[in-house]
Amino acid sequence: MSIDRRSFLKNSLVAGLGLAATSCMPIARLESTDDYHYTLTLEEASFELIPGTQTPGKGFNGQFPAPIIKGKQGRPITITVINKLQEPTTIHWHGIRIDIAMDGVPFLTQKPIMPGETFVYHFTPPDAGTFWYHPHVNSLMQLGKGLAGLLIVEEAENPQFTPDDFAADLPLILKNWHLNDDGSFSELSIPRYAARMGTPGNYETINGLHKPVFDVPANSWIRLRFANIDNTLVYKLRIKNQPAFVVSIDGNPIAEPKPLKDHPLGAGMRVDIALLTPDAGQEIVVENGKGRLFFSYMRLRTIESDKQQSKASLATIPRLPLNPIPEPDLENAETLKFVFEWEGAVTPVSHNGKTHHKFWTINRRAWEGMSANNIPEPLARLELGKTYVFDLKNNTPHGHPIHLHGFMFKVIKSNKKRIDPFYADTVLMEKNERVKIAFVADNPGRWMYHCHVIEHMKTGLMGYIEVS
């Protein structure tokens, strides 16, 4: 089952359209005839983002975009990770319900992978969908300089759905880089912004390209997999004048496809959109909202293809099979409250004069870091198998995408907007919003629980829960 990049693209991602749509999205090479087995290296890398310049970043297998890792629901995946950086690292498989030993958090779940060392991750994804992977060591720098990639888990065999139900399947990773005009990095974090919404980048890319145009088959249903791998930004996506539906959130299909009006996507979040394309020779504009205004973000160009669907219509929208997530028992659930607050501008200083900014707290505790011999107390201890409702209150004037490792939770209520309950691993909380989420604590371990704005996480808005 050895697969090279060209044949994978032809048979899976763009379904015979050629390489235009995903030419900048390399595919990890399978190394086994029976299992999904890959090797990833983390290394210094130079890549072209601003045309005609080179950016001195960090890349998986020395490149950006990173290789797409492809798995299948219910099938084991083995990923050998080799650290060629000059600093420790780990890999977190964001959104995968995973054994705690494979979750990739330094000291809490594994020893850091030191320079020159190798670590083998092995897990079986129970869910199909769009996920991603990134380091959980020095995240501001490692993730900010390019160490992030997609993990796509295909659906198990199902008589009601096959990947061929979409004429094309486009992975789209969204990142806003902090770059100078010559391609070098500007400051990734500025304290006054870290204490607000985070330090924004200044150069937007999709799959490493600025305002790209991708070819797609005409008169067909296509799948757009948007993943926000940015350190900071919230994207607000919409597609004008063309039928488009949300079919999956954070890798979790929804029972009834929801018409796309606009969809906010905080750091770490994903959304899959089913789009019905028009006749050949037309362009579809995907927009990103900033405040109340929307701007062109990328375009899709429709072309004739042998994969286009002659009978595609609103009546034939593909429906993804639901993932096997346990339903929370709300009648017998225990409620735990978590308040996210701004701590203030008092900056702790070490004996050598180095500052350690702490701007954010969870239940009045700022994350103090950890080491091999110093693991802080958990934010909460949960009983294995029991249902919990987390009552989340954002007492700040800024948004926070709150992410929980090891689980998919059900978003059930908000004081700011109407919620049609859905499953996710990250919930984007607006300023002063109160949200309730629920899940079955069926995965034992110590699970990180944090804001995915990396500067917020690094300056206090992080902790963990313990399930035992």
pLDDT of residue 27: 78
* pTM score: 0.92
Which pLDDT value is given to residue 349? Answer: 52
CATH of domain 163-316: 2.60.40.420
The domain 5-154 having CATH identifier 2.60.40.420: the answer here is yes
pLDDT for res 22: 43
Q: Where are the domains of the chain?
A: 5-154, 163-316, 330-467
Query: Phi/psi zone of residue 183: left (φ > 0), alpha (ψ -120 to 50 degrees), beta?
Result: left
pLDDT at position 368: 85
pLDDT in tens, the chain (468 residues): 233 333 333 333 333 333 344 445 777 777 765 679 999 999 999 999 999 999 999 999 999 999 999 999 999 999 999 999 999 999 999 999 999 999 999 999 999 999 999 999 999 999 999 999 999 999 999 999 999 999 999 999 988 899 889 999 999 999 999 999 999 999 999 888 888 889 999 999 999 999 999 999 999 999 999 999 999 999 999 998 899 999 999 999 999 999 999 999 999 999 999 999 999 999 999 999 988 899 999 999 999 988 888 888 898 999 999 999 999 999 999 999 999 998 765 555 555 656 555 688 999 998 888 888 899 999 999 999 999 999 999 999 999 999 999 999 999 999 999 999 999 999 999 999 999 999 999 999 999 999 999 999 998 999 999 999
> To the nearest 10°, the Cα dihedral for 263, 266, 267, 271?
-30
Q: What is the largest CA-CA distance in the chain?
A: 71
pLDDT at residue 330 in the model: 97
Length of the chain in terms of residues written: 468
Is 330-467 in the same CATH topology as 163-316? yes
Order of strands, sheet of 36-47, starting from the edge strand that comes earlier in the sequence: 55-60, 36-47, 77-83, 118-123
CATH number for 330-467 (one of 2.40.30.10, 2.40.110.10, 2.60.40.420, 1.10.1740.10): it is 2.60.40.420
* Residues 459, 461: Cα–Cα separation, whole Å: 6
